[in-house]
Homo-oligomer: A and B are copies of this chain.
């Protein structure tokens, strides 16, 4: 539900899908909490954490894709193409180094 003043983001088209994925990630994190609480084997907990990282990578790629397709196009039309490319590269760099 967006009001007329809400900007349209690159991910708006797939916002429901994005939210569904994030809720699944939230459930995965709760699952890992339960594994730790139940004293499950460290290696099995680590496998689940890797699965969460993979799921977050997919969410991030979906956001980047929407950004490259929509926001950057709008930015280019406003003469801010270089600024936005620099900003996107900084985000990719953080994702590659993970924070």
Residues of chain A at the chain B interface (Cβ within 8 Å): 2, 6-12, 15, 18-19, 22-23, 25-26, 29-30, 32-33, 36-37, 39-43, 45-47, 49-57, 59-61, 63-69, 71-73, 76, 81-82, 85-89, 91-99
Contacts and interface: CB of A to CB of B under 8 A. Distances in A.
Nearest to A86: B65
Nearest to A6: B39
Chain A contact surface mostly: helix
Contact of A22 (B29, B47, B56, B82): B29
A52 to B, nearest CB: 6
A46 B57 CA distance: 10
A46 B24 CA distance: 17
